[in-house]
Structure 1
Amino acid sequence: MSFTDKAKNKAQEMSGMAKERIGDVTDNERLRAEGASEQSTARAKQAGENVKQAGRDVKDAFEK
């Protein structure tokens, strides 16, 4: 995974955290849910990238 992908995922996660907190403060359920959804999406993308990287590592280990 490239640094750019990691940065994008982290930015999306942080944006989601901010939205969720603003939703908490303003008692806005829609904004709170949107923030939680963004965080989940970013974490899922990161997990998928980690799985792909682990697969590449295993492949590389067998090729040596």
Structure 2
Amino acid sequence: MAHSEKSRAKAEQAKGKIKETTGRAVGNEQMTVEGRAEKAKGDARQAKEKVKDVFKD
């Protein structure tokens, strides 16, 4: 299950980065903000998984 969550975090980070970059390229501030939020959500999920790994053993 942890591997699935880590993959999900990476996917969210990538999706957010793409959305943020696209928003900047086309001048769409709403899309840029949404991309940043998705990336932050992925970062938070990844941090949670790292903490779980530390306390796993």
Q: TM-score by structure 2 length? A: 0.89
- Runs of 4 or more above 6 Å deviation: none
Q: Of the two, which has the highest radius of gyration?
A: 1
Report the Cα distance in structure 2 between the residues aligned to 1:7 and 1:50, rounded to whole angstroms: 13
- Identify the residue that residue 41 of structure 2 maps to in structure 1: 41
Following superposition, the deviation at residue 47 of structure 1 comes to: 0.3
Sequence identity (%): 35
> Contact 2:6 / 2:49 at 8 angstroms: preserved in 1?
no
Report the Cα distance in structure 2 between the residues aligned to 1:19 and 1:43, rounded to whole angstroms: 15
Q: TM-score by structure 1 length? A: 0.80
RMSD across aligned positions (CA): 1.2
Relative contact order (alpha carbons < 8 A, sep ≥ 6): 1 or 2 greater?
Answer: 2
